[in-house]
């Protein structure tokens, strides 16, 4: 049994739901999993673990700055353990942008860090228009209109392929 630490950065809460699905997949393999929000400013030295996974959401084309900063501060530790990184973004709803090598936001992020995760994942997220503030709702509706996505301001649309999330959990179990 391995101890696996899953760190996450979430904007609207969907990334934690993806982390919980990965956690359930890993626990079905007998793994021990701890989830931790990067917003709390954790350091890897605060945990005992065998493997590390980092998941981060995108808003307006970027991961939260704390993700890159955390990776930079902890790169040596990350590299000494089996590791993985995944990105959650709505552009991944498109088949031509739902793989690590074809997702523009993940590829752009990887160019900003020197860490090279052993496993990469990309998952389509969720848009919950009613929960967004006025400005975010209008901006995201505009982006969706431009990219031919949903624009109904009363809709909640989940694009996540949960089977793909579970497959990613399986690859982490095999690290």
Find the domain containing 119 and state its range. 3-125+160-173
Instruction: Quote the percentage of the chain above a pLDDT of 70.
Output: 100
Interval 76-117: pLDDT, tens: 999 999 999 999 999 999 999 999 999 999 999 999 999 999
Asked if 22 and 76 touch (Cβ cutoff 8 Å), the reply is no
One domain for residues 86 and 154 = no
The answer on pLDDT for 68 being more than 90 is: yes
One domain for residues 164 and 154 = no
One domain for residues 8 and 64 = yes
One domain for residues 66 and 32 = yes
One domain for residues 79 and 145 = no
What is the number of other CB atoms lying within 10 angstroms of the CB of residue 81?
16
Going by the DSSP 8-state scheme, the letter that residue 18 receives in this structure is: H
The answer on pLDDT for 18 being more than 80 is: yes
Here the tokens at position 164 are 């793909």
Band (pLDDT 50/70/90 cuts) for residue 141 is very high
Q: How many domains does the chain have?
A: 2
Here the CATH number for the domain that contains residue 81 is: 3.40.50.360
One domain for residues 49 and 134 = no
One domain for residues 29 and 57 = yes
More confidently predicted of 153 and 61: 153
One domain for residues 119 and 59 = yes
One domain for residues 155 and 114 = no
One domain for residues 44 and 28 = yes
pTM of structure: 0.93
What is the reported pLDDT for 29?
Answer: 94
Query: Measured between alpha carbons, how far is 125 from 74 in angstroms, rounded to an integer?
Result: 27
Band (pLDDT 50/70/90 cuts) for residue 60 is confident
One domain for residues 105 and 154 = no
What is the reported pLDDT for 40?
Answer: 84
């Amino acid at each position: 049994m391995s101890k696996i630490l899953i760190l996450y950065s979430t904007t609207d809460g969907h990334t934690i739901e993806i982390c919980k699905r990965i956690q359930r997949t890993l626990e079905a393999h007998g793994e021990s999993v701890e989830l931790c929000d990067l917003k709390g400013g954790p350091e890897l030295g605060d945990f005992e673990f065998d493997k590390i996974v980092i998941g981060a959401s995108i808003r307006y084309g970027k991961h939260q700055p704390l993700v890159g900063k955390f990776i930079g501060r902890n790169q040596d530790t990350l590299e000494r353990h089996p590791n993985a990184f995944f990105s959650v973004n709505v552009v991944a709803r498109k088949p031509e942008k739902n793989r690590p090598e074809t997702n523009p936001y993940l590829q752009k992020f990887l160019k900003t860090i020197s860490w090279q995760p052993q496993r990469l994942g990309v998952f389509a997220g969720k848009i919950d228009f009613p929960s967004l503030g006025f400005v975010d709702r209008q901006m995201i509706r505009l982006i969706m209109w431009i990219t031919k996505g949903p624009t109904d301001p009363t809709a909640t649309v989940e694009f996540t392929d949960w089977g793909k999330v579970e497959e990613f959990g399986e690859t982490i179990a095999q690290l």
